[in-house]
Structures are given as structure tokens and as C-alpha cells.
Structure 1
Amino acid sequence: MNRKVAVLGLGLMGGGMARQLLGAGFDVAVWNRSPDKAAALGEAGARIATTPADAAAGAAIVIAMLADDSVSDTVWTGAHGALAAMSPDSIAIDSSTLTDIWVTTLADLAAKYGVRFLEAPVTGSRDQAAQGALRFLVGGDPATLADARPVFEAMGSAIVHLGPVGSAATVKLANNFLCGVQAASLAEAIALLEKRGLDIEQAMAILTDGAPGSPMVKGVGRRMLDRDYAPHFLVPLMAKDLGYAAQALADVGIISAMAQAARQCFVEAAAAGEGHRDIAAIVEPLRKI
């Protein structure tokens, strides 16, 4: 088996994924728009590529973890894009959070190059990527998934095949829609409790031990109270995901006031200087009111 794998995009998630592949013995090439993020992986044994095409050349599987539809388009199909450099019958995997419209288009473009395609967005964040504990939501051909399974298993703890291309993007956007709405409402709830002068730890224990106490509320709530904003999931990326979710809902006739309102919380937090921080930082502008 050709064990050459390329990873495109080395942010909070892609870097951890590449490191897991190296640990599993794959021959890994990496590319990132900001080359400095690749340096540590180079020291760990990865080949640092100069372009997406350079990374993809000769690889059996190319995995992208990128910011949005536009960046995905550029990295796969732009000048020095990965698709044109890939070998026929190799596998392109995009693990970014994207729209179903774009991943369906990307699958068609890959087919024109004789490249097989899977969408595989993930649940989990920075820590799960670093631990090889991501859950991959996969859309695409089952036989292609079977061929790519060893790579997924090196990076994650669960693989869920949801159906054809586009199905995983839809589930991932529904997932992040619910997460974003919870985080936005949690920030407002914490600000209310603090402004009323309540014992915040006591009050939060009631919330986290009761019906609202989802893993999102517990984890992000703790970071809000501790003012620990080291990035797990960046504020602008959640704003993007909520925008994509609002559009997906609109496409089926649902005009979501909740998605739009939650997105605005993240947009305003980014405008207030919190864009480089974890989504928990959306509480800070409310604390200053």
C-alpha cells in the first residue's frame, strides 16, 4: 500500500491530524499558507511542501483542513492546487466545515481528474485532534471509505458513514449550529449572573448539573469563568459556520432567527478584538456593558 499522505492546512486541527499520521508511520507531506506552522512537523519527520500541488504529488490520500469554501476552492483547484497534481484513483478528503453545495461541486471536480472524493468533517476540537480522538463524519462512496479507513483510524476514534457527498456537511452544520446557539446563550446567561452579583460558581453548578448541562455548556462555561481563551475553536470560524447553517436552513425554507442572532454575537465579539481567541471569549464584550 502507498502510505504517502498529504495534509493541507495546519491550523488548530490539521497540525494535530498530521502529527497523528506521522506517529502511525505514514509518509506525510504537509503544506500551510503560513510556512512557520509547518516547521515543527518538519522536525518530526514530515516533508514540508511549497504548494498544495507539491504536497499532493505522489500521495495516495490528500486531506484538507481549511477555513471555509473559498479557501478550500483555492487550495484544491486554484493555481498550484492539489487536484491537478493528484494521481488517478487517489483519494481527496476534505475535513473542513463546508457547505453541502461546495462539497458536491468539489466531488464533481475531483471526478474530472479521476480522483475519488470523500467529505469528512469532524466533531471534536484541538485537544481531540492532538490525541487522535476525532470523530469523522463521512459522505461519499463506501468503497472509497474502506480504502481510506487506515488513515481515518490513525487520526480518530470513530468513523460514521452518513451517506452520499453532502450528507456529512449537513450534519456538521447542524452540529455547529446547536453548539453556536448554546455558546451564545451561555455567554448572556453568565453575564446576567455576574451582573446580579451572584456566587457564579454556585449558580453555574446549578446550570451544568441540570438540564442545560451539555458537554458544550460545561466545557465552554468553565473557560468563560476562568477567562481561559486559548483557542480550541476560533470566534470567526463559529461565525462562519453559523452563517453556513443559516443558509442551509434557508435553502429548505427555514428562516432561522436563532442562527442569525447567534452568528451576530460571534461577529460582534470578533469586531471587539476577540477574533484570535476561543469561542468562550464571546462573553467578554457582554462583561463590559
Structure 2
Amino acid sequence: MNRKVAVLGLGIMGSGMARRLIAAGFEVAVWNRSREKAEALGAAGARIAETPANAASGASIVVAMLANDDVSRTVWTGDDGALAVMDRDAIAIESSTLTSDWVLELTRDAVAHGVRFIEAPVTGSRDQAAQGILRFLVGGDADAIDAARPAFDAMGSALVHLGPVGSAATVKLANNYLCGVQAASLAEAIALFERRGLDMEQAMSILFDGAPASPMVKGVGRRMLDRDYAPHFLVPLMAKDLGYAAQALADAGIPSAIAQAARQRFAEADAAGEGERDIAAIVEQLRKA
């Protein structure tokens, strides 16, 4: 395979992934809906493409990191979409957090174009993407995964092959569901402590050092206390993920009031103008109430 890789979507995650590929010596083309996010990568050596199709043309691997099902559908299969121009036996890697229904449909579209398809959502956020230590949750054919492994190795430190396409989407939504519920309940706990006038560092040490502690609680909790909302994971994306998770649970016969309630916290924060901030910013709506 050639060393040409395209990266579609240059948000917090996609830009970090593209930088790791450039650093590993791949010939990288990048595309983003707003070109200004691509400029820094152009300065780092990437070719800036005007369309997904232009980025994907001639690439042996095309990686997408996009906001939702609708954007993924447009970027892969819409006008100037990537799939139609990809070479036969090239590899499409979809790393966005999506529904399994769309991932399965996209797989069929890829096969129809003679393209090998891998779903590979990630665990980790901004810092892990920048450092190249993401963990890829992968569904798809083992041979295609092996062929794409040099690119995966450049972007991440671990790869878990969960099974056929659809497996990884399910696990990723469950992962983000649990993260979103923790963040929402943590915001409520912090607001409770503040309203009761507690010493916040002392009270939070009980959560940080006790049974509730998790990387999510520790990281997001510290950002809530410090009012540090530089984005690691944007508020509206968590609202989207919780909505997708609630639908996946419902489709499996598991209606979830918990997922819906957590989603509402993020939706309210987004509506209140927190959409460009980190998920820790959801606590601000409770501080104001």
C-alpha cells in the first residue's frame, strides 16, 4: 500500500490524529468543512483539499472523524463524497461516534465501491489524540485491520478488535453513555456542595479518592472546580452521543430514563451558549439556578 492517507474532519480529535500521521511520515491530505482549521496542518506538511473527494483521491487509507451520522453520510456518500473516488481495495476508516445502523449502511456502500471498511471509534480525547495514545475500538475484517495497522499505530497506542462492523459502535456508545452520566451527576453533586457552603477541595477529595472515583470524575471534576472549560470534548457532541445511546438501548428493549436525563443536562447547556466549551461547563447552568 502507498503511504497516502486522507483525514476528513479536523476538530479536536481529527486534527491531533492528522498531526500524528504527518509525524510518522505519511503523505497526508486533510479536509475540513471550515478551511481555517486546516491551515495549521497545511503549515505542518499536509495537503489541504477542497472536498472530501479531493482529499481521498489516490489515498490508500481514508480516516474520518466527524460530528454525527448526517455529517458522516454527506462526507462519505454525498456530492464530492470520498467513497466514489477511492481506489479499489483502499481502506475507509470511520472513527466518528455514530449509530450502528448508519455504520452498517456505510459498510454496504463501501463494499459496493470495492472499498474495504473498518469502524474504529476511539477512547481518549484531546490530549490522547495529540500524543498518539488513543485506543481504537475496531469492528471489521481482520485482514483490512492488519493492512491499516501502520496508520493505527501512528495515531494510537492500542487497538481492540471487537468483532464485525457494528460491534465497536455499540461499545463506544456504551462508553460515552457512562461518561456522560458521570459528568451530569458530578455537576449536580458539585452544585449541591457549593450551595451548602462546603469546603470544595475537602468535599471533592472524598469523591476523588473514594468509590466514585474514575478518570472521568477526576478529570472533569477538576475542570469544573477550576472553571477550566477549554474543550477536550464539546458539550453538543456529548448530547448527541447520549441521544444515540438512548436510542440504541431502546432498540434493544432497554428504555433508559437515565440516558435521557443526562442528555437533557447537555442539551440545556448547549442551548445556554456553552456549545463551544468542554463538557465540564454543564455545571455552570446549575450554579446559576
For the aligned pair, the TM-score class normalised by the smaller chain equals over 0.9
Please list the CA deviations of residues 12-41 of structure 1 after superposition, one character each: whole Å capped at 9, or x if unmatched: 000000000000000000000000000011
**Letter matched to residue 40 of structure 1:** A
The Cα offsets for residues 94-149 of structure 1, whole Å up to 9 and x where unpaired, read as 00000000000000000000000000000000110000010000000001000000
The match for 2:14 is 14
Return the letter of the residue paired with 2:262: A
Q: How do 1:241-280 and structure 2 match up within 5 A?
A: 241-280=241-280
SS of alignment partner, residue 28 of structure 1: strand
1:232 CA displacement:
0.2
2:205 counterpart letter in structure 1: A
Match of 2:151 in 1: 151
Q: Distance in 2 between matches of 1:287 and 1:75?
A: 39
- Quick one: which amino acid aligns to residue 35 of structure 2? P
Report the equivalent of 2:109.
109
Provide the residue aligned with 1:69 in structure 2. Answer: 69
Aligned residue in 2 for 1:2:
2
User: How far is the alpha carbon of 1:273 from its aligned partner?
Assistant: 1.1
CA distance in 2: counterparts of 1:40 and 1:84, whole angstroms: 28
Task: For residues 212-250 of structure 1, give each alpha carbon's deviation from its aligned partner in whole angstroms, at most 9, with x where no partner exists.
Answer: 011100000000000000000000000000000000000
* C-alpha distance in 1 between matches for 2:154 and 2:187: 35
- CA-CA distance at 1:272 after TM superposition: 1.1
Counterpart residue number, 2:85: 85
Counterpart in the other structure of 1:29: 29
Distance 2:12 2:91 in 1: 23
Aligned residue for 1:60? 60
Partners of 2:208 and 2:128 lie apart in 1 by 22
In the TM superposition, structure 1's runs of 4+ consecutive aligned residues that sit over 4 Å from their partners are: none
The residue aligned with 1:120 is 120
Q: CA deviation at 1:45?
A: 0.5
The one-character-per-residue Cα deviations of 1:178-234 (angstroms, maximum 9, x if unpaired) are: 000000000000000000000000000011100001110000000000000000000
Secondary structure at the aligned position of 1:170 is classed as helix
Amino acid at match of 1:75: V
- Count of matched residue positions in the alignment of Structure 1 and Structure 2: 289
Cα deviation code 1:80-100 (max 9, x no counterpart): 000001000000000000000
Spell out the pairing of 1:162-201 with structure 2 (5 A cutoff).
Answer: 162-201=162-201
Matched, 1:205 2:205: yes
The amino acid across from 1:69 in the alignment is D
Secondary structure of 1:13's aligned partner: helix
Letter in 2 for 1:60: S
Query: What TM-score does the superposition give when structure 2 sets the normalisation length?
Result: 1.00
In structure 2, C-alpha distance between the alignment counterparts of 1:163 and 1:269, rounded to whole Å: 36
The answer to whether residue 132 in structure 2 is matched with residue 132 in structure 1 is yes
* Distance (whole Å) between structure 2 residues aligned to residue 20 and residue 93 of structure 1: 16
- Supply the RMSD in Å over aligned alpha carbons: 0.4
Query: What does residue 94 of structure 1 align with?
Result: 94
Distance in 2 (CA, whole Å) between partners of 1:9 and 1:276 is 16
Residue 168 of structure 1 and its aligned partner are, at CA, apart by 0.1
Structure 1: 5+ residue stretches without partners: none
Distance 2:262 2:162 in 1: 27
Look up the equivalent residue of 2:288 and give its one-letter code. K
Gapped regions of structure 2 (runs ≥ 5): none
What is the alpha-carbon distance in structure 1 between the residues aligned to residue 123 and residue 207 of structure 2? Answer: 24
Equivalent AA in structure 1 for residue 71 of structure 2: V
- The DSSP-based 3-state class of the residue aligned with 2:12 is coil
Query: Letter of the aligned partner of 1:204 in structure 2?
Result: M
Amino acid at match of 1:232: H
Report the alpha carbon displacement of residue 173 of structure 1 after superposing the two structures with TM. 0.2
Report the secondary structure of 2:70's partner residue: helix
Percent of aligned positions with the same letter in both sequences?
79
Name the amino acid aligned to 2:238. Answer: M
The answer for the alignment partner of 1:221 in structure 2 is 221
SS at match of 2:177: helix
